[in-house]
Amino acid sequence: MTGSKITSRTSEQMRRARAQGQSGSDWERVRRTLQKDAGAVEQTQAIAALIERKRGRPVQGEPKTAISLRVPDSVLAAFKATGPGWQSRMGDALKEWLRTHHPA
């Protein structure tokens, strides 16, 4: 792009500049560009919606809730001894118990 320049600023410098009403953006040029291409805003919003990322791991299957559960040391040691994925196996064991029992 001809006439463009890159300026490096720290986050604190950018906050101070914004607070003082200074901006490194050429807002008039942005407005002129938007007037020339009225569909640009919708296109930009559509692209942003497609690439928007949510924080954390994606939910796979049934959502889970973190809890604190006290179990005997021997039970915990037995599940941990099965290797990686022991938490999932413990959850599967609880699901199996629910299939054969009806909690009050």
Provide the residue ranges of all domains of the chain, joining segments of one domain with +: 11-51, 70-104
Distance separating alpha carbons of residues 5 and 15, to the nearest angstrom: 20
pLDDT tens by residue, 37-78: 877 778 888 888 877 777 777 777 888 889 999 999 999 999
Nearest alpha carbon to residue 44 among 36, 35, 34: 34
pTM, two decimal places: 0.43
Q: Which amino acid is at 73?
A: D
pLDDT tens by residue, 2-17: 666 677 778 888 888 8
Question: Hey, what are 75's tokens?
Answer: 């039970």
Structure confidence at residue 84 as a pLDDT band (50, 70, 90): very high
